[in-house]
Amino acid sequence: MDNNNNQQLPQQEEFDIKNIFKIVRKYLWLFITLPVIAVIIGVVYAKLQVPEYTTSAQLLIKSDGSNNPLNILNMMTGSSNMFGSNGELEDEILVVKSKKLLTQLIIDLDLRTDTYIKKGLTYRIAYQNEPLIAIYPQNFWKELKGGLIIDVKKKSNGTFTFNFVLVENKTKQKFKHITTSLDEPIKTPWGEFSFVEQPNFAPKGEGYKLRIATANIKGRIAALDRAINISRLNKYSNILVFSTVSQSIPRNEAIINKLIEIYNQDKVADQNQASKQMSDFITERLALITDELKDVEKQVENYRKQHKLANIPAQANIFIQSAGEYEKQIASTDIQLSIVNFVENYLKKASNTDLIPTTSEVSNPAFVQAISEYNELVLNYLKAARGGTENNPQIIQIKEKIETMRGNILNSIDNIKRTMEITKNDLTKKSNEYSSKIKDVPTYEREYVEISRQQQIKEQLFLFLLQKREEAQLSLAMSTSSAKVIDSAYTQMQPVSIGTRKIAALALLIGLILAAGIVYLIGFFKDTIENEADLKRFTTLPIIGTLPFEKDVPQIVMTSQKHDILKEKIRMLRTYLPFVLANSESGKTVIITSSISGEGKSFTALNLAISLAMINKKVALVGLDIRKPMLSKYLNISNKYGITNFISDESLTVADIQNLSELNKNLTVFLGGTIPPNPSELLYNTRLDDLFEFLKKNFDYVIVDTAPTRMLPDTYIINRFADAVIYVVRKGFAKYEDIKHINTEQEGHTLNNINLLLNGTDLTNSKYGYNYYAYKQ
């Protein structure tokens, strides 16, 4: 076989089911012991387990927002869903398990303390049936930052033993107190504790053991949050399912029912608070609106008084009618004035015999009467003038009267004209006043409408707020929770604890897994060769054989009547040896070495040499482990004269150092000789070359036992004589690093024709039907 093989080292081992069975067989004790122990522990645990029960309840969360008082504000603002009428169920779950509600639950049910009674080997919770009630120091809960455990033991003679353990910030403080009376409080480093015993708990004269456990409020909240489970009945339902598991059925039911009660109260309180806030808000706004309404009404009153307005449209009609009347009067006055002017002009131009036109348009009766009288005199004058002369006294008299009256009329006309002008001016002034008022009516109306509009707005808002306040008050009086209890807390009578068989099966599985894990970790952390598969993982060098381990084996097994398996393995090695030497020049010299001392190289060299001698081969067994010679010890031969003596003393011959073995006539032994001070330098001596030349000529096989390669350079020096190297690797002794070292020797050609021999195996030989083991040096 050629060792100059530069194949790449395999990185992974192929999956081998047979190898797994071999590992299981090797650690069979572990795969039996751990599962058995686990099953025993599991059964004991099942027997000691305190039964726990599941309690559940169902709560319907109403989806409509009709009971929500905030809808009032939505109506006021015109928003249909300003705040949302119904939250998601997930939000409600968070509300139920909020710190606020859990804190209230702890306070209402006094869950800050749990009392346990010892029955047998286990402690069982006592709820509302505590034999002993603890009364804590003032402000104890506020100052408590961790947890307190009080173990109480009452003996049959009435003696109480209290063991206090306070755990805060990962530190423990202990206090012990023994007393025969509970009348006096117990003074501890954390204050005075008092205890009240329930007289009807246990028969007189019997003792008991208690454990009273308490924690700060944060710890209790966290414990309750873990213990209480809230979930939806299904994804399409608005029903929440409350559930909890513990030893005490009354405690479970009390917690679930009280939590639902607190949740409903909180919802109603929220609604009442919203209604109250709404009512307060509306009342406050009403007060402001009332003041504002009074101010607006006062403005309306003042405006009417200021502008003397009662009814603007009616007064506007009056203004228009009055202005029209005055315009008519002015027109009439103008007519009369024009008539008077006409009469005046007529009189000034007319003669005494001209009649004055009469008119009824002039409203002055005296003026009309004067014209009538004037015209009558003129008519009399005309009558008289027809029958008389100008000198007629009667005519002269009438004529004088006409002149006088004419003058009077003209004077009267002046007075009438002045009177009419004054009257016209007064009428014009009055008409202008009403015309001005008619023009101001739109402004008054606009200003009045603005003030009136504010008044109407305030009135409508006032009435609206009054109505909504009544609605808020009604909602406050009729507030109900938006949740409905479908099922109150109900406890299943079947405990939730796992059965003994299931626990045993689970423990068995855990034991097997644990055993497999331990075996895996052993394999993961081991760094030694355990079998042929390990060896193949780290090298491609040929493995020419294995030697099994056998207890109490002698160093020479080939002459023994026992150890048949080991002898057969050595014979197998002898059979492979010609194939190993087939490609060498002389085909005789075999070096047997190892990485470190103790791997069985000397044992292998000795028994291989004897095995070759037994088939009538002349064999030279050469002991060149000159620093730690073992062959002289194994063969019980004196090491006085050996190879080192032959090299250093030229007077010695080969015959002087050879030892004919009593084991077989074909075996000649050459021991190492006296241990020299310079062994490495000595092995370079040509006398050693001469010796090997002699051995190769006179023997069929030269078997050389050399020093370990990881410790000394001797084997590399002797390698110049080797036709093949048998590298002994001992199971559980050789490390992975040693195999990597062998690979380095192969790659560097520092050793010739390397072949591996695995020593110390525990393989099963099916032919013989029993286990055999490799040699243990």
DSSP string, 632-685: HHHHT---SSSHHHHHH-TT--HHHHEEE-SS-TTEEEE---SPPS-HHHHHTS
The first and second tokens of residue 580, run together, are 């190993």
Most confident of the following: 65-69, 127-131, 524-528, 729-733: 729-733
Confidence label for 450 from pLDDT (cuts 50, 70 and 90): low
For residues 172-198, average pLDDT: 89
Residue 512, Cα to own-chain centre: how many angstroms?
35
Alpha-carbon distance of 367 to 375, in angstroms, equals: 12
Mean pLDDT of the chain: 79
Lowest-confidence pick of 26-40, 82-96, 638-652, 705-719: 82-96
Is a pLDDT exceeding 70 seen at residue 316?
no
Backbone angles phi, psi at 165, to 5 degrees: -130, 110
Q: Are 663 and 608 in contact (CB under 8 A)?
A: no
For residues 624-632, average pLDDT: 86
Residue 399, Cα to own-chain centre: how many angstroms?
136
Tell me which residue has tokens 């002698």: 554
Q: Running DSSP on this structure, what letter comes out for residue 1?
A: -
Alpha-carbon distance of 9 to 743, in angstroms, equals: 9
Predicted local confidence at residue 617, as pLDDT: 92
Confidence label for 11 from pLDDT (cuts 50, 70 and 90): very low
Please provide the DSSP assignment of 364-391 as one string: -HHHHHHHHHHHHHHHHHHHHHHHS-TT
Predicted local confidence at residue 82, as pLDDT: 37
Alpha-carbon distance of 525 to 533, in angstroms, equals: 17
For residues 346-355, average pLDDT: 71
Q: Are 274 and 82 in contact (CB under 8 A)?
A: no
Decide which of 537 and 467 is more confident. 537
Confidence label for 170 from pLDDT (cuts 50, 70 and 90): confident
Confidence label for 55 from pLDDT (cuts 50, 70 and 90): very high
Alpha-carbon distance of 70 to 594, in angstroms, equals: 92
Alpha-carbon distance of 250 to 254, in angstroms, equals: 6
**Taking the model in full, what pTM does it have?**
0.47
Q: Which of 429, 716, 720 is nearest to 437 (CA)?
A: 429
Coil vs helix vs strand at 186: strand
304: number of Cβ within 10 Å: 16
Decide which of 407 and 210 is more confident. 210
Predicted local confidence at residue 690, as pLDDT: 92
Q: What is the pLDDT of residues 268-285, one digit of tens each?
A: 777 666 666 666 777 777
Confidence label for 700 from pLDDT (cuts 50, 70 and 90): very high
The first and second tokens of residue 755, run together, are 């072949």
Predicted local confidence at residue 763, as pLDDT: 55
Residue 750, Cα to own-chain centre: how many angstroms?
63
For residues 160-176, average pLDDT: 90
Backbone angles phi, psi at 468, to 5 degrees: -70, -30
* Distances from the Cα of 193 to the Cα of 116, 164, 216, 688, angstroms: 18, 11, 17, 96
For residues 642-655, average pLDDT: 90
Side-chain half-sphere CA neighbours of 755 within 13 A: 22
Is a pLDDT exceeding 60 seen at residue 765?
no
Cβ neighbours of residue 69 closer than 8 Å, sequence gap 6 or more: 271, 274, 275, 278, 472, 475, 476, 479
Coil vs helix vs strand at 573: helix
Tell me which residue has tokens 């606009």: 446
Confidence label for 775 from pLDDT (cuts 50, 70 and 90): very low
Residue type, 125: I
Alpha-carbon distance of 442 to 218, in angstroms, equals: 75
For residues 407-435, average pLDDT: 77
105: number of Cβ within 10 Å: 21
Is a pLDDT exceeding 80 seen at residue 261?
yes
Q: CA angle at residue 182 from 177 to 184, to 5 degrees?
A: 85
Q: Are 173 and 189 in contact (CB under 8 A)?
A: yes
For residues 425-450, average pLDDT: 66
The first and second tokens of residue 395, run together, are 């005519």
Predicted local confidence at residue 323, as pLDDT: 63
Predicted local confidence at residue 7, as pLDDT: 36
Q: What is the pLDDT of residues 145-154, one digit of tens each?
A: 888 999 999 8
Could you tell me what percent of the chain has a pLDDT over 70? 79
Predicted local confidence at residue 551, as pLDDT: 77
Lowest-confidence pick of 218-227, 344-353, 416-425: 344-353
Which value, in Å, is the radius of gyration of the alpha carbons in the chain? 68
For residues 162-179, average pLDDT: 90
Backbone angles phi, psi at 215, to 5 degrees: -150, 165
Alpha-carbon distance of 357 to 343, in angstroms, equals: 7
Decide which of 331 and 404 is more confident. 404
Predicted local confidence at residue 488, as pLDDT: 87
Most confident of the following: 52-66, 358-372, 421-435, 615-629: 615-629
For residues 581-594, average pLDDT: 84
The first and second tokens of residue 678, run together, are 């310079």
Sign of torsion over alpha carbons 632, 635, 636, 637:
negative
Sign of torsion over alpha carbons 413, 415, 417, 419:
negative
Is a pLDDT exceeding 80 seen at residue 473?
no
Tell me which residue has tokens 């939730």: 496
